[in-house]
């Protein structure tokens, strides 16, 4: 059986964790800081837990240069939970702001109240005619996010502003030109997935069309960065909400992080108003304001998983004095090595996504050289890779193929080994 240092695991998630972090966490799981209790046994209300949580938040803010007017939340439910949470929370924000705007438009005298039935009538009209949630569908996860929004709010409130399948023969693999996006006027939010793990598609940067201009009608932009967070610098101030599961680049499964503008944490509309308007009232454990008020400890948070994330962040800060910029240089170099090896042998490999949208984190390709078919080619490729300690390369079950997940924990040496194997396999197949 191979030892840990003989295997490089390219699985898409849960991902490889730094061995030093696991060793520290293992000791803490049995006896944390000589307290006689393992960390998973300490109360999430204890000073120990609060210190671990606050330290992780501070280090994340430092590593990504998160501005002071943003709050960092640790939650549960993964990215799929956030598909629902973003809808509930930002529709609430839209309703509250629309109500405030309506009352201003009525120009009421001081102390004068607008009849409740008339206010409800006007609000209902606004919801029916104006409420939209925009989605840029560029892969499997953004598609699921849009489908969840339709399930919760109704198809009439969901606008798919761009669908990559329409410009790529019915398959994912490209990002439509921004000039073709059909964005709504003042939507509750514009959602996109910055990196699609299944389809190997990554936005090369923040969309120009969504850049804030400093006005009240700047779009509320939500990004799922579950699979590329901490791997490159991001313009945090361009986003209203960023969310990500921990299990790719930050830590282990069990916690989900939300970075949100504090201005979006105002009290939501009364549940009674939402029900009268025919809108869903979300679970309180998904309410960002509630989680923020309780410093992420409204319910029992897995402090052990927060601790692992915190240890990963400390290791990153120690390794890269220039913070995320240093990690980005390594991530880009690893991706270039692997893509270059694949491009060198076009008769043996077909890279799935278009070059303009290739992911640095999830490198998806097909092995095509055997006359007996792609399936046989890929089985042979995978067996040879496993024999060399290169594991976790099988593509997602929905699309097949090969997928090398190049997360932060993959060393430069591991990427070099994969690139050499790609070349060696192609040469041996001729």
Each residue's pLDDT tens digit, 138-164? 999 999 999 999 999 999 999 999 999
For 158, the 3-state DSSP assignment is strand
* Geometric angle at alpha carbon 26, from 20 and 27, rounded to 5°: 100
**Other C-beta atoms lying within 10 Å of the C-beta of residue 180:** 11
Residue 112 has a pLDDT of 66
Q: Which helix (H) or strand (E) holds 201?
A: strand 201-202
Residue 224 has pLDDT above 80, yes or no: yes
225-250: pLDDT as tens digits? 999 999 999 999 999 999 999 999 99
Residue 115 has a pLDDT of 78
Residue 358 per-residue DSSP state: B
For 51, the 3-state DSSP assignment is helix
The residue count of the chain comes to 430
Q: What pLDDT band is residue 371 in, cutting at 50, 70 and 90?
A: low
84-136: pLDDT as tens digits? 999 999 999 999 999 999 988 877 655 667 778 888 999 999 999 999 999 99
Mean pLDDT of the region 4-26: 94
267 with 361: CB under 8 angstroms?
Answer: no
Residue with tokens 């960390």: 39
57-307, which class in CATH?
A: alpha beta
Mean pLDDT of the region 364-377: 79
Residue with tokens 């809808």: 87
**What is the share, in percent, of the chain residues with pLDDT greater than 90?**
89
- Strands 189-193 and 195-196, how do they pair? unpaired
Q: Which residues pair with 232 in a beta bridge?
A: none
* Geometric angle at alpha carbon 196, from 143 and 145, rounded to 5°: 25
357 with 202: CB under 8 angstroms?
Answer: yes
**Other C-beta atoms lying within 10 Å of the C-beta of residue 428:** 10
Average confidence score pLDDT of the chain: 95
**Other C-beta atoms lying within 10 Å of the C-beta of residue 239:** 22
Q: Which helix (H) or strand (E) holds 98?
A: helix 78-105
Residue 108 has a pLDDT of 66
328-362: pLDDT as tens digits? 999 999 999 999 999 999 999 999 999 999 999 99
Strands (E), 322-367: 349-351, 362-367
Residue 2 has a pLDDT of 82
The whole-angstrom separation of Cα 52 and Cα 302 is 11
CA distances from 74 to 283, 365, 393 (A): 16, 34, 30
The whole-angstrom separation of Cα 188 and Cα 43 is 37
For the stretch 375-398, what's the b/e string if a residue is b when 16 or more beta carbons lie within 10 angstroms of its beta carbon?
eebbebbbeebeebbbbbbbbbee
The whole-angstrom separation of Cα 80 and Cα 88 is 13
Which CATH code of 1.20.1250.20, 3.65.10.10, 3.90.1150.10, 3.40.50.510 fits the domain covering 322-428? 3.90.1150.10
**Per-domain boundaries in the chain:** 57-307, 322-428
Residues 6+ apart with CB under 8 A from 430: 369
Residues 6+ apart with CB under 8 A from 219: 183, 187, 189, 190, 210, 212
Token pair listed for 74: 């640790």
* Geometric angle at alpha carbon 280, from 277 and 285, rounded to 5°: 140
153 with 280: CB under 8 angstroms?
Answer: yes
The whole-angstrom separation of Cα 243 and Cα 74 is 10
pTM of the predicted model, to two decimals?
Answer: 0.96
The whole-angstrom separation of Cα 392 and Cα 19 is 17
Backbone φ and ψ of 6, nearest 5°: -100, 0
159-202: pLDDT as tens digits? 999 999 999 999 999 999 999 999 999 999 999 999 999 999 99
The whole-angstrom separation of Cα 288 and Cα 364 is 35
Residues 6+ apart with CB under 8 A from 280: 88, 152, 153, 274
């Amino acid at each position: 059986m191979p030892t840990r240092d003989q295997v490089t695991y390219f699985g898409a998630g849960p991902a490889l964790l730094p061995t030093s972090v696991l060793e520290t966490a293992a000791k803490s799981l049995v006896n944390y800081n000589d307290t006689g209790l393992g960390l998973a046994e300490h109360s999430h209300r204890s000073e120990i837990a609060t210190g671990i949580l606050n330290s992780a938040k501070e280090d994340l803010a430092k590593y990504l240069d998160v501005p002071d007017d943003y709050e960092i939340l640790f939650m549960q439910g993964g990215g799929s939970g956030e598909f629902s949470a973003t809808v509930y929370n930002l529709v609430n924000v839209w309703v509250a702001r629309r109500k405030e705007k309506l009352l201003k438009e009525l120009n009421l005298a001081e102390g004068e109240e607008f009849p409740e039935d008339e206010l409800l009538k006007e609000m209902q009209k606004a919801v029916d005619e104006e409420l939209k949630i925009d989605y840029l569908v560029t892969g499997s996860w953004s598609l699921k996010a849009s489908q969840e929004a339709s399930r919760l709010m109704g198809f009439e409130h969901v606008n798919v502003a761009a669908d990559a399948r329409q410009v790529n023969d019915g398959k994912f693999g490209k990002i439509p030109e921004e000039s073709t996006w059909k964005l709504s006027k003042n939507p509750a939010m514009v959602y996109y997935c910055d990196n699609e793990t299944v389809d190997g598609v990554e936005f090369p940067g923040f969309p120009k069309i969504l850049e804030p201009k400093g006005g009240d009608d700047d779009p509320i932009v939500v990004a799922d960065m579950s699979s590329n967070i901490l791997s490159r610098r991001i313009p945090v101030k361009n986003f209203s909400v960023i969310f990500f599961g921990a299990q790719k680049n930050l830590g282990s499964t069990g916690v989900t992080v939300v970075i949100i503008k504090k201005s979006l944490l105002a009290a939501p509309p009364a549940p009674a108003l939402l029900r009268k308007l025919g809108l869903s009232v979300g679970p309180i454990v998904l309410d960002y304001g509630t989680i923020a008020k309780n410093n992420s400890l409204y319910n029992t948070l897995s402090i052990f998983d927060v601790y692992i994330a915190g240890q990963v962040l400390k290791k990153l800060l120690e390794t890269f004095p220039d913070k995320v910029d240093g990690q980005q240089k390594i991530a880009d170099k690893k991706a270039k090595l692997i893509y270059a090896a694949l491009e060198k042998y076009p008769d043996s490999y077909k890279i799935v996504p278009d070059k303009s949208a290739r992911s640095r984190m999830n490198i998806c390709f097909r092995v095509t050289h055997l006359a007996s078919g792609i399936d046989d080619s890929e089985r042979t490729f995978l067996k040879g890779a496993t024999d060399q300690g290169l594991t976790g390369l099988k593509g997602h079950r929905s699309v097949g193929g090969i997928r090398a997940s190049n997360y932060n924990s993959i060393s430069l040496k591991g990427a070099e080994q994969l690139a050499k194997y790609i070349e060696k396999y192609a040469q041996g197949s001729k």
